[in-house]
Amino acid sequence: MSLNITPERLRAYLEDRLSETEAATIEKELRANPELRELLEVVRNRSVNAGHSLGAVWQRERLTCPTREQLNSYLRELLEDDYQAYVHFHLFKIGCPYCVANLEDLQELQAEPAQSEQRRDRIFESSVGILRENKS
């Protein structure tokens, strides 16, 4: 088998856990190599059959992921110390892509009020002179 494509890499390919470059390389090899396509089918069948295991359900339902509300509390440092440490571990050591995306979205939302406040202050400051002129 060329490029040393293992069943683990094929599983990662099926689960969309590879970079775009790696995925493109595997797709190119799959087109050219019938043996690799057969191995992909074996890996796919194993994945489907394993989809009902406790581990598969746990991963699919993301049972270890904090809720969006908990992530918001994490940002504001409102969680109990142990859970705050767990969420940090989940985000930055495990690197859960779902939770990292949620966290980034929450950070952007937190930044918006500050931006709108700054915009309101600029408008007010630029209007003060005009209001004074109209008053006299």
User: Tell me: the pLDDT tens digits for 82-109?
Assistant: 999 999 999 999 898 999 999 999 999 8
Q: What is the pLDDT of residues 6-53, one digit of tens each?
A: 999 998 898 888 888 999 999 999 999 999 999 999 988 886 665 566
Q: List helix spans (H) across 34-80.
A: 34-50, 54-60, 68-75
Quote the tokens at residue 86: 């767990």
Q: Which of 15, 10, 21, 23 is nearest to 97 (CA)?
A: 15
Is the pTM for the entire model greater than 0.85? Answer: no
Cα dihedral 61→64→70→73 (10° resolution): -150
Cα dihedral 115→75→79→98 (10° resolution): 130
